[in-house]
Each structure stands twice: as C-alpha cells, then as structure tokens.
Amino acid sequence: MNEFRPIPPLPHRVMPVFLALSLVLSLVLICAMASRADAAEPQPGNYAKRADVAAFAADAAKKTGVPLAEIQQWLDDAKYQSSIVEAMNRPAESKTWAQYRPIFITPKRIADGVVFWNKYAADLNAISQKYHVNPAIIVAIVGVETFYGQRMGNYRVIDALATLGFDYPKRGAFFRGQLMDFFTLAAKEHIDMNDALGSYAGAMGMPQFIPSSYLALAVDGDGDGKRDLWHSDADVFASVANYFAEHGWVKGGPVGFEVEVKNTAQVADYLNAARDLKPKVTVGQLRQWGIALPKDLYLPDSEKVMLFTLTGPDGVAYWVGLNNFYVITRYNHSTLYAMAVWQLSQAITAARAAVASTEAQARPAE
C-alpha cells in the first residue's frame, strides 16, 4: 500500500526565484500579445509600407484610371499630420451659437466683405444673373470659408486626406473616397500635389470645396479651360453659385425666422440637430401647435421646414429654416454655419448700402 506523502513546500530561498521567473514569463507574454496587436493595427503614417494603403492604391487605380505607379508615388510621399486629427476632434461646430457667432460676424469681416463685393461687383452681378444666386450669399460663403481668400489653409491636401483616410477611423471611409476623387481631380485639372494646399479636412481654394464637390460642381467661370479655385476669382464665384443653384437656391427667397415655442415638449421629436438637418415638420403643424409665423410671408401648410434651436447669450432660441436655409446647410452640414453665412450676408448688404449712401451724400451737387 502506497503511503500518501504531501509535496513539501518550496524552501524559502527558492520562493523569490520562482516568483521572479513567473513575473518574467508574464512580461514576455504581454509583450508578445502587444507585438501581435501592433502588427494587426498599422501605426499612423508610414504609408509607403502599409498593406492597407497598398490595397487602396490598387483599388483607386482601377476605379479612377490613374496609373497605379502615380498613385503609389503620391501616397508614399504623403505625411501623417497629428495636428489634423487634433483639429478634427475639436470642430468649431461643436460650440454654441453664442461662441460661434463672434468668430464670423465681426466688424472687420463685414467691412472687408463690402470692399470685396465692390471690387468684384461686375463679375458677381453677371454670375448672379446667370445662376440666380444672390451676390451677398456668394460673398458671405467666401468670407466665412477663407476670409475672402486670405486663409485658404496651409496643409498639403494629399497629407490631409491620407491622414484622415487611413488614420482617422471615425470617418476613414469618407476621406478615402475624397482621396480617390482627389486623384481624379489632380489628373483632370493638372493639379500639382505639392502645390495643392487646403484645410485640415482637405477642402480647397477660396470656397473650400472638397474633392467630390470640386469634381461635380466647380465651374470654369473665366473660360480658360480649367477650373481653378485657388487663383481664378471668376471660377470661384461661378462655382459657389452653381453649388447653390444645383441644391435648389431661390434667388430673393426667404431664409428663416425666429419663433416662440411655448410647449417645447411638443416639438422635441421634430427638431433638427447635429447632422440631422432634413426638413421634417410642415408649416401646417407649426400653426396647429400655436406657433406664430410672419404675416408678410406666404407659407403653405404643406411646406416642409426645418425647426432647430440656437443657444445664444440670452438662452435657447427656436428658429424655422426655409428652403434657402436648408440649401446653405448643403455646403456645410451645420445650422451654426448656415446661420453665420446668412447673417454675414445680411450684415454685408446693410453695410454696403450704408457706404453707398454716405458716398452719395458726400458728392457735390451738380
């Protein structure tokens, strides 16, 4: 009969050695797992050596018709920019209206808008008549986007789109699509990748068109056979006007108005917020809810409108956005942006009229 004998405990001198070995083995295992994870997830940048970038390049060459060698060369040269990702994570549109408005509705931006409009009045009037888009809106778009061409961005577009397409997972698919369109655009318009500068989001030129908008909606306004949104004022004005016309702008039409909402719970499910901007409430519903509408506007009950809030210095205000307001949101999907463009256009129009009146009064009588 075998006698059961318990395993004697390890000598006290052996215990520290045993624990040290266990710790070493654990660290080795953790490092191995980390290395495996690193291998599975590419590090930011280093686009010349990444399998996901190579696969994209092959797909882009097939879909765009641009030679693979050219696409690969552009991507190999692209540089990851951490500041772009940081900027994407703190957009101006995350602010309240009280914070956002003072960025764009300033005395200098209004005064410079008057000067800009007067300088290009002949071109703006001709384009306005052709596309049926108010000159004030064209001027305000350029004023909000790039301060009338003074701030068109300092990032290489290829760097911005590569950074966001391959190293910004939240919207990577969208920016890879824009990158593919940029290859097509560069080949079509003979754009030098090294010279093409834009915003941190890859928007280009005075009106800040993203590549898909540039391809689809930019116009050769000066007839030189090229659509140049960096250097041709005529191309810029015609392109902005065409953008608005294609999205249904009605020249001289109303844009929006503030309303008083007494029963806020009643309208809560119908509010437009964030990127949910499609009109979903009718004028008839507003009337049924007892919301007073401007008496000088013809608004049929069946017309769908936007209903949204803006938080200003005095609290929350309710606004109704009509067709033209919705069209402005097609340029940038934000009620804050659309309101800034509209109010800047109104301020520039009023200031320009005041300047014209002052100049007329100062002229000697004939």
Which amino acids are annotated catalytic? 145
How do beta strands 256-259 and 281-282 pair? unpaired
Burial class (CB within 10 angstroms; exposed 0-12, middle 13-18, buried 19+) of 183: buried
Two tokens, residue 203:
């928007």
The end-to-end CA distance of the chain, in Å, is 136
